[in-house]
Amino acid sequence: MKPVPHLLLATALLLGSAAAPAQHFAKPEDAVAYRQNAFNLMQAHFSPLGAMASGKSPHDPAAARLHADVVAYLAHLPWAGFIAGSDQGDTRARPEIWTDSSRFQQEAADFRQAAAELSQAARSGELGALKKAFSATSQSCKSCHDSFRRK
């Protein structure tokens, strides 16, 4: 077993649906960049899983495990970037993130849980499990975007 994915998984499972520690940002735009970078990296590792789930690319269980572990780990990161005052500038974040923050935090927790389950599904090596967990995770992305991200 490769040490890095294993360590990532152990950490992601340990964290469970808990939030990551707070970050310090000198300026609101640094917080925006931080969360956007986390989401961009997540997308880069989520999309090959989608290709496997849809049959656009062959099921490669080892690659799926690595991608899903990375997604499960990264799922903890962006939330710390939604600091007060970072609703301005180059962002699609809606004000509801701050005015309805308990619902936003619940969406984030649900997503971390979905991503942890995606990682477990990928580690089963079963394509059916991967498809199901990919779909559930994708629904979780969409649910949050529908309420909290501008078009």
Q: Which residues bind ligand ASC (CB under 6 A)?
A: 43, 46-47, 50, 138, 141-142
Nearer to ligand ASC, 46 or 82 (CB): 46
User: Is the CB of 65 or the CB of 67 nearer to ligand ASC?
Assistant: 67
Q: What is the spatial distance between Cα 132 and Cα 124, in angstroms, rounded to a whole number? A: 12
Q: Encoding tokens for residue 109?
A: 């927790």
Strand partners for 147: none
Measured from the CB of residue 7, what is the shortest distance to ligand ASC in angstroms? 25
Q: How far is the CB of 106 from ligand ASC (least distance, A)?
A: 18
In angstroms, give the least distance from the CB of 9 to ligand ASC.
Answer: 21
> In whole angstroms, what is the distance from residue 133 CA to residue 122 CA?
8
Residue 80 neighbours by CB distance under 10 Å: 18
Q: Confirm if 35 and 82 have CB atoms less than 8 A apart.
A: yes
Output 7 or 44, the one with its CB closest to ligand ASC: 44
Phi-psi region of 74 (alpha: psi -120 to 50; beta: other; left: phi over 0): alpha
Burial label for 84, CB within 10 Å (0-12, 13-18, 19+), is exposed
What does the DSSP 8-state code read for residue 18? P
To ligand ASC, the closest distance from the beta carbon of 67 in angstroms equals 11
Q: Which lies closer to ligand ASC via its Cβ, residue 53 or residue 80?
A: 53
Q: How near is the Cβ of 55 to ligand ASC at its closest, in Å?
A: 16
In the complex with ligand ASC, the residue whose CB is nearer, 34 or 111, is 111
